[in-house]
């Protein structure tokens, strides 16, 4: 190989490394932008707990953020293995921070999902709880009888 070719290869590698870093940065920006807005998970217009939980569950969707994070990690890993980045500490730190945020959002979504199925069942249990009334007398007849005995 001639020296001119080696020089061209180095220049091409440098360009590819810059493009790879830009790809990682673009994916990270898209992932941050795809995370739910803080106000979307804090404020609600719901009339009841189930409405709040359903709204929160919808707000905690991080699908696009997860996909963009995966792309960032893929290009970052490729660039790291190729030793293409002069300094990748900033990218690595941002990937870790984003990954932590996505993990927290996903865990919160799982918890809200569980509550969304638990709360209606709990409501039914509480509605059915208490002494059973006979068909002949209302449920508060026992209370009236207790007052008469005193």
Q: What is the pLDDT of residues 63-105, one digit of tens each?
A: 899 999 999 999 999 999 988 888 899 999 999 999 999 999 9
Phi and psi, residue 69, nearest 5°? -65, -40
Give the start-to-end residue ranges of the domains of the chain. Answer: 9-127
Residue 73 CB partners (closer than 8 Å, separation 6+): 95, 99
Cβ atoms of 27 and 68 closer than 8 Å: yes
Structure confidence by residue, pLDDT tens digits, 18-61: 899 999 999 999 999 999 999 999 999 999 999 999 999 999 98
Q: Which of 51, 47, 42, 17 is nearest to 108 (CA)?
A: 42
Q: Which of 69, 82, 67 is nearest to 18 (CA)?
A: 82
């Amino acid at each position: 190989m001639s020296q001119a070719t080696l020089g061209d290869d180095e220049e091409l590698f440098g360009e590819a490394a810059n493009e790879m870093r830009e790809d990682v940065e673009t994916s990270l920006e898209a992932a941050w932008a795809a995370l739910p807005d803080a106000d979307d998970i804090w404020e609600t217009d719901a009339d009841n707990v189930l409405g709040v939980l359903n709204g929160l569950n919808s707000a905690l969707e991080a699908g696009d953020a997860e996909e963009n994070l995966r792309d960032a990690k893929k290009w970052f890993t490729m660039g790291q293995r190729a030793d293409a980045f002069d300094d990748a500490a900033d990218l690595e730190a941002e990937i870790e921070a984003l990954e932590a945020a996505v993990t927290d959002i996903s865990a919160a979504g799982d918890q809200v999902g569980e509550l969304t199925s638990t709360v209606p069942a709990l409501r039914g249990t509480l509605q059915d709880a208490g002494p059973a009334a006979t068909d002949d007398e209302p449920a508060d007849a026992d209370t009236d009888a207790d007052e008469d005995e005193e």
